[in-house]
Amino acid sequence: MPDTSLLLAFAVGVLYLGAIACIYRILLTYRTTQGAIAWIISLIGLPYVAVPLFLVFGRSRFGGYMKARRRLGDKRLTRLLDDFEQQPTSLTKAEQAQLPGQLQVHSKLGRQPFTEGNRCHLLRDGEATFDALFKAMENACSYILLEFYIVRSDRVGQRIKAILEQKLAEGVQVWFLYDEIGSVGLSRSYLRELAAAGARVASFGDGNIRRRRFQINFRNHRKLLVCDGRVGFVGGINLGDEYLGSAIGQEPWRDTHCLIEGPAVAGLQLAWLEDWNWASKEFPDLNWTPGEEAPGDEQVLVLPTGPADRWETCALFFLNCINNARSRIWIASPYFVPDFQIVNALQLAALRGVDVRIMIPEKSDNQLVRLAAYSYLVQASQAGIGLYRYQPGFMHQKVVLVDNLYAAVGTANLDNRSMRLNFEITAINTSERFVSSVEAMLTEDLAQCHRMTEQDFQGRSLLFRLTCRAVRLMAPLL
């Protein structure tokens, strides 16, 4: 029988070798010194805890997805993107050079052009969104593409499934992509029945377990729908009853989605196609030709962001918005756990006279995030940043308004997960009509908010303040 002490010594040695390997990876790939130092100290001091945690939560780049990009799929996507840029509805490089610099940066971050000839409709709650989603799917003639972080098999989910099964019976093709972490409660029977009806169904990790390895920290947080390459949806609403809120007798749920008609829908398709190719290794033949008649006159850019990008595209998007705002920047986000770069940029914007307003929910589905948000109150108040808590129910919308120049509706939150770990997608619209509609919507929302002050934090108990500050230390994981 082997000596127990030798076995223990061997196990400890293997554990520390694992810690050294993790530290080696950190030194080669770290993005922030604070995060790197925290991981290294933990790996040295508590390797039996830190090593497994690092394998699951420590990576900052989605290696498997990045490798998939470099294969055939990325070459085919590049050709599609080149064709997209050559479409008559896409702004040429010369035309884009006439745009304000911050809009040019957004286009470069998203690797997509602005397109003209679009029409967008702001959908201000779950009821309006689902009505529009159902109608668009029922009117689809060729195909339906779905990609959602959360899918439930409740009333909304069953209605979606019934419509999809009916369209499949009519010969319409359906591709259904969901995130297996966000949709962990989705029943297997729901997926089997969809597949049996003829839908192609895949989770964000299907067929890629080896490539994902322990990279479960990376989630596909996108929420989009495309019908026939002509109509698309993007925003904060997932497929579940809770997004209907008071419409079905539950607590109010405040959210925003956007319906897009026109050539910008191709941008949604490109993002969906890359994710689908990653999940299934398939490359469906889709419609990439814009309609003969433009449905509107709005310029729109679709901006996909994620941990497989060359840069931290989501963080750079927010920094670009904040740093270039001249009169106002209003941001609505259910999760407010920004890093020091975002906090500093918000402070500088407020100090130079920009009207900075951050709207977050009073009631939250994540109490740690709610507590962490309190810890920013002193910094925000002293700089003149308006931090507003939305009172009636849970506010889940992700909306940005910059001056009178543009508005953005999408899936990205003001937290580390959106900026560095999640796959997100945002639609940016420069239309005066759309910007005005977003302004009116946010003005109504702000009227139902309580503006927080420094006293809301300093006046609480010492235990509460210490708890908030301690939770803030967990910001990279929230």
Report the catalytic residues.
Answer: 221, 223, 228, 396, 398, 403
- What stretches of 81-167 adopt beta strand conformation (E)? 115-123, 143-148
Cα distances (Å, whole numbers) of residue 135 to 122, 160, 176:
16, 11, 18
Rounded CA gap, 214 and 428, in Å? 33
Q: How far is C-alpha 294 from the geometric centre of its chain's CA atoms?
A: 28
| Beta partners for residue 115, in sequence order | 90, 300
Q: Angle between the 188-196 and 155-169 helix axes, to the nearest 10 degrees?
A: 10
- C-beta separation of 188 from 153 below 8 A: no
Rounded CA gap, 38 and 35, in Å? 5
Cα distances (Å, whole numbers) of residue 92 to 5, 87, 98, 229, 264:
70, 9, 10, 21, 14
Q: What DSSP character marks residue 241?
A: G
What are the tokens at 217? 């920290």
Rounded CA gap, 65 and 275, in Å? 9
What are the tokens at 180? 């297996």
| Nearest CA among 365, 315, 312, 367 for reference residue 340 | 315
Q: How far is C-alpha 345 from the geometric centre of its chain's CA atoms?
A: 21
What are the tokens at 69? 């990009």
| Nearest CA among 359, 352, 364 for reference residue 439 | 359
Q: Give me the torsion for CA of 411, 416, 421, 425, rounded to 10°.
A: 20
Rounded CA gap, 445 and 332, in Å? 10
Rounded CA gap, 226 and 233, in Å? 7
- C-beta separation of 385 from 246 below 8 A: no
| Beta partners for residue 70, in sequence order | none
Which bin fits 353, alpha (ψ -120 to 50), beta or left (φ > 0)?
left
- Other beta carbons within 10 Å of 2: 7
Cα distances (Å, whole numbers) of residue 429 to 114, 121, 392:
9, 11, 28
